[in-house]
Amino acid sequence: MNGTVPVIVNFHADWCDPCKILTPKLIELIEPMDKLDLAIVDVEENPELVHVFEVKAVPAVIAISNGLIVDKFIGLVNNEMIENLIQKLTNEGPIITESNDTKS
């Protein structure tokens, strides 16, 4: 996680119903991207990472760039929050855009 490509770390658990909704959303939005990696961490199998990142609840998502935590959120969030997190890490425009055509 000290590499040049930013990482979004998704802490989840098999028993967590919101995780079952959030994890596929993250995979769909992040996996196709070249400039961003997704790490999916099962809290039951990786207690050392839970301790290091001070995860207190799941789902928890932590954004890391240049080895530093840039942002994080806990709980099930909408696509807009996920996209804002992605934009912070990639400095790219919105992933999903609405038509803003103002030509007359």
How many domains are there within the chain?
A: 1
Tell me whether residue 57 is in a domain.
yes
Question: What are the distances in angstroms from CA 51 to CA 18, 34, 37, 47, 96?
Answer: 21, 29, 21, 6, 35
Residue 101 lies in a domain: no
- Would 97 be classed as within a structural domain? no
Q: Does 98 reside within a domain?
A: no
CA distance 17 to 32: 25
In a domain, 23, yes or no: yes
In a domain, 104, yes or no: no
Residue 1, pLDDT score: 54
In 3D space, the residue among 14, 10, 36, 39 whose CA is nearest the CA of residue 23 turns out to be 10
Instruction: Tell me the residue type at 67.
Output: G
- % the chain with pLDDT above 70: 85
Give pLDDT tens digits for 4-43.
889 999 999 999 999 999 999 999 999 898 889 999 999 9
- Which residues are annotated as catalytic? 16, 19
Distance between CA atoms of residues 84 and 70, nearest Å: 12
Q: What is the pLDDT of residue 71?
A: 92
The CATH number of the domain holding residue 23 is 3.40.30.10
Locate 9 and state its tokens: 């770390």
For 49-60, how does the pLDDT look when each residue is reduced to its tens digit (9 = 90+)? 999 999 999 999
Q: Which percentage of the chain shows pLDDT scores above 90?
A: 66
Task: Evaluate if residue 46 carries a pLDDT over 60.
Answer: yes
